[in-house]
């Protein structure tokens, strides 16, 4: 049986038994689909040659506040960079309380993510025409991200007791109930944890 790059990393092999795995731009996108379990490579911190970044005019985009690393990695990949996952840990990733990773509002992140995907689809038209698998992966990422964005739009309005606008958004949102069904088990679990005052235990094991 042939395993995908992500499956290789979850194949149950011990680290020293796992071969290095090359990640394509399509693999990279499919590893980071909103609401889907997978090998999240967004926290990867690859090393880039400064010369490569300058020659290909690759830099952080100021209009993107969150997920900046994901999109600079994408620019590198479509300009010929190679991305290999090695079976050895080389660093620890720490998320501080108050950092963008932990405190940025979900809706803001999802709005920006949708815009970033749309911009990539339109701005890299020539490359995507030659790589239809990547285009399809990006369209899937946009579709799933938009579902969660629409879900959180309704949630934020309900939290703000803006019930009339919430119902309007609800009827416009195709994926709201689909996302809600996925999230119900987690919502119930958190409510039970809060009711039993077991939040410290929940955070320790999740």
pLDDT tens track for 115-132: 999 999 999 999 999 999
* Residue 123 included in any domain: yes
Q: Which residue has the tokens 């990547």?
A: 134
User: What is the rounded radius of gyration, in angstroms, for the C-alpha atoms of the chain?
Assistant: 19
Using an 8 Å Cβ cutoff, are 119 and 74 in contact? no
Give the pLDDT of residue 205: 47
Q: Which residues pair with 83 in a beta bridge?
A: 23
Per-residue pLDDT tens digits for 14-34? 555 678 888 999 999 998 899
Inside any domain, residue 25? yes
What is the chain's pLDDT, residue by residue, as a tens digit (206 residues)? Answer: 334 444 444 445 455 567 888 899 999 999 889 988 766 665 677 788 899 999 999 998 887 777 788 899 999 999 999 988 877 777 776 666 555 544 348 888 899 999 999 999 999 999 999 999 999 999 999 999 999 999 988 988 888 899 899 989 888 887 888 999 888 887 787 777 777 765 554 454 45
Residue 90 belongs to a domain: yes
Identify the H or E element spanning 23.
strand 21-23
With H, G, I as helix, E, B as strand and everything else as coil, classify residue 84: strand
What is the reported pLDDT for 19? 84
CA distance 84 to 51: 20
- Cα 152 to its chain centre, rounded Å, is 16
User: Quick check: is 100 in a domain?
Assistant: yes
Q: 200 in a domain, yes or no? A: no
Total domain count, the chain = 1
Burial pattern 105-131, b for ≥16 Cβ within 10 A else e, equals eebebbbbbbebbeebeeebeeebeeb
Domain span at residue 90 reads: 5-156
Provide CB contacts within 8 A for 122, sequence distance 6+.
none
- Rounded Cα gap, residues 72 and 171, in angstroms: 36
State the DSSP H helix or E strand holding residue 63, giving kind and residue range, or none if neither: none
Does residue 171 belong to any structural domain of this protein?
no
CA distance 6 to 40: 9
User: What are the distances in angstroms from CA 205 to CA 81, 155, 192, 202?
Assistant: 37, 26, 15, 6
> What length is written for the chain?
206
Residue 93 contacts residue 51 (beta carbons within 8 Å): no
Residue 69's pLDDT is 85
Asked whether residue 202 is assigned to any structural domain, the reply reads: no
Instruction: Tell me, yes or no, whether 161 lies in a domain.
Output: no
pTM: 0.77
As a whole number of angstroms, the distance between CA 105 and CA 41 comes to 21
């Amino acid at each position: 049986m042939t395993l995908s790059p992500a499956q290789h990393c979850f194949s149950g092999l011990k680290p020293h038994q796992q071969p290095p795995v090359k990640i394509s731009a399509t693999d990279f996108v499919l590893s980071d689909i909103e609401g889907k379990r997978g090998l999240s490579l967004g926290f990867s911190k690859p090393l880039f040659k400064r010369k490569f970044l300058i020659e290909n005019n690759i830099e952080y985009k100021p209009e993107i506040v969150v997920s900046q690393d994901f999109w600079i990695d994408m620019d590198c990949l479509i300009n010929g960079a190679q991305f290999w996952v090695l079976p050895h840990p080389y660093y620890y990733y720490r998320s501080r309380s108050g950092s963008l990773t932990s405190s940025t509002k979900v809706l803001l992140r999802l709005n920006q993510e949708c815009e970033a995907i749309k911009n990539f689809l339109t701005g890299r038209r020539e490359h995507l025409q030659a790589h239809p698998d990547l285009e399809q992966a990006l369209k899937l990422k946009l579709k799933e991200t938009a579902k969660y964005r629409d879900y959180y739009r309704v949630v934020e309005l309900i939290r703000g007791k803006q019930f009339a606008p919430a119902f309007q958004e609800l009827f416009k949102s195709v994926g709201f109930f689909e996302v809600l069904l996925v999230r119900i088990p987690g919502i119930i679990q958190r409510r039970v944890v809060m009711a039993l005052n077991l939040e410290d235990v929940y955070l320790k094991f999740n």
